[in-house]
Structure 1
Amino acid sequence: MQDVSMQVETVPVTERAYRVVKERLLSGELVGGSMTSEGEISAQLGISRTPVREAFLRLEAEGLLRLFPKRGALVVPVSAVEADDVLEARLLVETHAGRTATELPPAAHRRLVELLSELLAAQEGAVLDGDLAGYAALDARFHQEIVEAGGNEVLRRFSVGLRERQQRMIAHSVRWDASRVTVFVQGHRALLDAIEQRDPAAFERLIGEHLDDARAGL
């Protein structure tokens, strides 16, 4: 009975450690190329090292950390190859998604435009507050909502897989050059206008330019 009780208590603590560290990685709080450690994280969270070690192993399997015995964990930087691969995949997915979004039935089209407008306003608020991590999450969601509006479940799942990489790349970009945020927000407004005007050709051109801006900031 004692072993079962310990297991029940350990699982949520491990999951908590995993989620906290992963969020710090995706938000850019843990910068690529920097080192962290089980002791550092366990002290911050007020837990033992064991659940942190298990969380680190999961994150290493996801390619976000590289573990070095007795030295700690290296935050794996976003490589140029990974960035190019993600942006190329996004261009293919989001070009199709944008075209589909411009062709939605009136009610669905109106809901999407309203949602994207709300997200854009939230992005502008995050910029004013200097909340770059919050902005990065809102940026990723803006693009994800366009993909999900198309109703293609295969593309939706594929895009979710790209979303975390996208968020990490954006966080990296704006952390090193906060002025990039203004360029990205302007790009989102232009994409929203193209969807609202039901102009697929404009959206295709603008998403290419937007992703080129993202590449230039990496």
Structure 2
Amino acid sequence: MQDSLNNTLNIDAYNLILKKLLSGELSTGQNVSEDAIANELGTSRTPVREAILWLQKEGYLEIYPRKGTFVSKFSLKEILDIYNLRLLLEPQVISSSFRNPTQAVNEKLTEYKNYNLQYIEDENIVSNGDAFFSQDLEFHLFLFDLINNAYIKRICRDALYKCIISKLVFLDQLNIKRSRIATQHVVFIDAALNGKTDEIFEIYKTHIISERDSIMHINIQ
């Protein structure tokens, strides 16, 4: 978000709409009601409209005169292009971020490891799949927060968000095993805790490739 959204109400509206996009409450092609968002926030439509305009600039929403605002649709090629961008950027910047981790970072990594171990031992120990994917998003955002360059951090977040929003549409077509994702997280964390930056690079790269390859043959309408 840029300075043009520095008004608190604008930011609240932006964050609420983005949250709805990332949770799937607002899905690809769906109409975004300014009135509904404004009522939920208890505000006028003005900050909602400002937030929508900014989300349009960022590619999340599309505005059609006399028709309304709709969640953007991404073709399979566009989604794969985003994954390929992540593949070029994220493994390098993430691995570089772990050259001198603080104790606080290592403690947080250990927390994430313990959470993910539950899914490796038994996928059903924590039954709420939404909670797992919410934690998965939180974990990646934690990694992005370690990146020193704010511009690169913003690119990483934007690419991740678009991948999540796009993937939610055809989630039922994917054979996603939470235990596989959790295992990849634990392997990554072990490498990070032991300062193995070369391994971090390769593990993170494999993580993105496996997710990208899982959607290559999905039928996106």
TM-score by length of 2: 0.71
Aligned length: 199
Q: CA deviation at 1:217?
A: 4.0
Q: 1:182 aligns with which of 171, 179, 186?
A: 179
Aligned residue in 1 for 2:218? none
Secondary structure at the counterpart of residue 11 of structure 2? helix
Aligned residue in 2 for 1:29? 25
Read off the aligned partner of 2:160 and give its amino acid letter: Q
Read off the aligned partner of 1:187 and give its amino acid letter: Q
Secondary structure at the counterpart of residue 202 of structure 1? helix
Aligned residue in 1 for 2:158? 164
Residue 36 of structure 2 is aligned to residue 40 of structure 1: yes
Partner Cα distance (1:128, 1:68) in 2:
40
Partner Cα distance (1:63, 1:98) in 2:
25
Q: 2:86 aligns with which of 67, 74, 90?
A: 90
Identity, in percent, stands at 26
Aligned residue in 1 for 2:111? 118
Q: CA deviation at 1:67?
A: 1.0
* Greater Cα radius of gyration, structure 1 or 2: 1
Q: Which has the higher mean CA deviation after the structures are superposed, 12-21 or 183-192?
A: 12-21
Q: Which has the higher contact order (CA 8 A, sep 6+)?
A: 2
Aligned residue in 2 for 1:69? 65
Partner Cα distance (1:181, 1:43) in 2:
36
Partner Cα distance (1:137, 1:50) in 2:
30
Q: CA deviation at 1:199?
A: 3.3
Report if the CA contact (8 A) 2:87-2:209 is conserved: no
Aligned residue in 2 for 1:143? 143
TM-score by length of 1: 0.72
Deviation sequence 1:81-114 (CA, Å, 0-9, x none): 443343333333333345435643xxx3654332
Return closer, same or farther for 1:211/1:35 CA change in 2, 3 Å cut-off. same
Read off the aligned partner of 1:203 and give its amino acid letter: I
Q: Which has the higher mean CA deviation after the structures are superposed, 189-198 or 38-47?
A: 38-47
Read off the aligned partner of 2:155 and give its amino acid letter: G
Q: Is there any run of 5+ residues in structure 2 with no aligned partner, and where?
A: 1-6, 120-125, 216-221
Q: Is there any run of 5+ residues in structure 1 with no aligned partner, and where?
A: 1-10
By percentage of residues, which structure has more helix? 1
Read off the aligned partner of 2:156 and give its amino acid letter: L
Partner Cα distance (1:211, 1:185) in 2:
13
